[in-house]
A and B are shown apart, each in its own frame.
Chain A
Amino acid sequence: MFGYTGKRLIIDLTEHTYKVENIEESLLLSSIGGRGLNSVTLFNRLKPQTEPLSPESILLFGIGPLTGTCLPASARFTVSGKSPLTGILGDGNAGGHWASELKFAGFDQISISGKSNKWIYLFIFNGKVEFRNAEYLKGKDIFETTTLIRKELKDNSIQISAIGPASENLVKFGSISCNLTRIAARTGMGTIMGSKKLKAIALKGDIPVKIKHPDKFLKLSQLLDKKIESHPEFGRRKKMGTTMLISQLNKIGILPTNHFQNGINDYSDKISGETLSEKFNVKNKACFNCNLPCSRYFFTGEVEGEGPEYETLCGFTSRIGQKDLHFALKMNDYVNRMGLDSITLTEIIGWAMECIQKGILSFSDFDNLNLVWGNKKAIFELTRKIVYREGVGDILAEGVKKASEYFGKDSEKLALHVKGLEIICGDPRGIKGYGLTYAISSRGADHLRAEPFFELTCNKKEAKKRFGYEEAADRLEETGKPELVNYTEKIALLCDSITMCKNIGLCMDILDIQTCAELLNYGTGLNFNPSKLYETAEHIINIEREFNLREGLKPEEDTLPERFIKEPLKNGKSAGHTVNIKKMVDRYYEIKGWKK
């Protein structure tokens, strides 16, 4: 095979056995790879109503047909399963160098089920698997685990994805990290690993990737290289990565402040990507074969590391009223080591703080931690308690939906989630297309399912041409957004499936369906035609929908938390706005032909 390895590795952790299956060409054509291949496999193989943390639960790691090649920014993996946090489809996605190594090790997908009786890690080398003792790694953080495995195997080039103490303790939003700080964090895929007593997956591979039409493929990859390098955002993204959003979102009034009570604050310049870059960044870092090294290494003398990305930075600053950049870097380091989703975590902290501010709950509900806006000691201590499920941490480790249901007293109304997944740091009242995305996303409140970045471009002419409405390019309008989301969700799906970075493929508008088809055809030699590819993307999105309905999702859950529908933003350039979510969701259903 070209591009693909054509192989799926099936691991049984109960028996400590494995087998290798061939993946049929027809399945590859209809699901592409990465998220597409994972979602379809999960739908076909996971028994309905499986308890996510039971041995029967399946965890899938998928990479793309072009991962490991010279195509820029295409070495990501998607890890999928039924989410222990939300009970519906869960998946996380990360870059780094683990995905390409999986290709070199001989597989397009790993499927893991069962449960080991003691802690183990997998070492996969050129198609073979060793089940190795990880009892000595129990309780170790992700950095220690990664370093110790590399030492044990005497090879620093081994690529490792690992879980931290949070996932071991079955905190419902545990993450999986490779290269220390490349994190598939959303929906608790790390927790599934923890429930199976699988501490890490180590990879090493020497199997070369071959492609069908090397010269054409190289030429097209080089064209994309140039497109990326000459893009107006190249310099800004290289300097700040996604942290550039702090000042940008503050400017347009959608920077979550004090748990979305405000969309603007007066200290954003102290915590911004610009400030981080000037004060602490010492070099750039990149994922495998990427020519836009948007990741940054910071060094403060006390703490150093890769990142943070926007979500974590905003989460540990304005979202919870915390003004100290250096403290945010320390928390970034702590959650990276412990392995939990910083979006979910900081929503929980923000929710607790607002509940206390409003007198709904009291300090005594939270083990007497002084949870006032920005209190560093309380932020750290609450996080630590969640990681180890100590005291109130045991309740909060279930996520904001369950925690708020436990406490009651209308605190549920302040819990900002969709379908049990906590909302990201972008106030939907000033970005309506994103609002729709949070509402309809197959994994809950998340922007990455569609990433309708286009609504921030103000390019009315192009909006009219592409989506039929000039308003699609106006972030404050609801008109044209269902059409926009219906298109970009397919590009996002294609990005996740081939598996390209959405910052580049989608936000920088590098990937379109025609290019995607050409890349796939030159790379794999299979016949992906552009019009069929659009249908394939639609088909996979519908399968994800079917999966969720089968697990009990109700259409009325395709909405937003009450705050965004009823409370207008007070200040800034999105002031006065709420989201008419029903109007957008209804139109979106109409386009999709989905039933209410």
Chain B
Amino acid sequence: MFILDLKLCTGCRRCEVACSFYHFKLFSRKYSRIKVVKIEEIGIDAPVFCIQCKEKYCLNNCPQKALYTGDYGEITVDVKKCNGCNLCSLYCPIGAIEIIDGYPILCDLCQGNPECIKVCNTGALKIDENKKKAVSLHLNKFIMKKSPEEKRYNYIKKISKELRNKWKNRIMKENLCSDIQVND
């Protein structure tokens, strides 16, 4: 399991590049199991990947029972059982699974030694040594109607509020520029 530190993510997408290269020997966001969302107008960058949520909507809604939990806690696909129906992707609240070339692809934790973490030199992505409890994700019909790209965007926008508030508070507290009004 990873820890993501939003303020350290530069949006360089080295994690994407490393992921697709490690798994497929090519460079492509499409084939990457981690995808960076860049919300440029508010200065936010962050990767989205399977966080092995508490609910495991994908696994629990798979009609073929083709998804199971692997040795490192990752969600794994049994390609013999999977018929590419796309339900897992629809059920993922954050757009971390997509059907590519007929099968779902999602973070497989690289046998416990993730390539993305090796190339993240800012510390935005780290291994969670303390193995925190699984995070709970909310899902509803509104979210299910969105494309994976839109889900990722909405998810990051939501979790970025805290950091944006920190930036605002810092400016107000330190009174760095007395003639400035803080806009919401």
Contacts and interface: CB of A to CB of B under 8 A. Distances in A.
Interface of A: 68-70, 97, 104, 143, 146-147, 154-157, 179-181, 206-211, 214, 218, 225, 229, 279-280, 282-291, 293, 295, 297, 299-302, 304-306, 326
30 contacts: A69-B17, A70-B14, A70-B21, A104-B28, A104-B29, A143-B41, A146-B40, A154-B147, A156-B149, A156-B150, A180-B41, A206-B30, A208-B24, A208-B28, A218-B21, A229-B121, A279-B176, A280-B176, A282-B7, A282-B43, A282-B167, A284-B10, A289-B17, A290-B14, A293-B12, A301-B172, A301-B180, A302-B177, A302-B182, A304-B43
Given A206-B30, A209-B28, A285 B11 contact: yes
A48 B63 CA distance: 66
A34 to B, nearest CB: 18
Contacts of B179: 326
B105 interface: no
B31 interface: yes
A53 B66 CA distance: 59
Closest 3 pairs between A and B when the two form their complex, measured CB to CB? A286-B12, A208-B28, A293-B10
Given A147-B41, A209-B26, A284-B8, 5 more contacts: A70-B27, A155-B150, A285-B10, A295-B10, A306-B43
B74 interface: no
B10 A283 contact: yes
Interface of B: 7-14, 17-18, 20-21, 24-31, 35, 37-43, 45, 119, 121-122, 147, 149-150, 153, 167-168, 170-172, 176-177, 179-183
Contacts of A156: 37-39, 149-150, 153
Nearest to A157: B149
Which applies to chain A's interface (DSSP): helix, strand, loop or mixed? loop
Contact of A208 (B30, B147, B150): B30
A211 B40 CA distance: 30
Contact of B45 (A70, A143, A214, A285): A285
B176 to A, nearest CB: 5
Contacts of B150: 154-156
A146 B39 CA distance: 11
B25 A284 contact: no
A255 to B, nearest CB: 23
Nearest to B7: A283
Given A70-B17, A289-B14, A300 B28 contact: no
A517 B19 CA distance: 26
Nearest to B120: A291
A301 B182 CA distance: 5
B150 to A, nearest CB: 7
Nearest to A181: B40
Given A209-B26, A286-B11, A289-B14, A326 B180 contact: yes
Nearest to A303: B180
B14 A291 contact: yes
A210 B153 contact: no
B43 A286 contact: no
A303 to B, nearest CB: 9
A284 B171 CA distance: 17
Contacts of B42: 304
Nearest to B37: A156
B183 A301 contact: yes
A532 B158 CA distance: 53
B21 A97 contact: no
A289 B13 contact: yes
Contact of B43 (A104, A290, A301, A305): A305
Nearest to B118: A222
Contacts of A279: 176-177
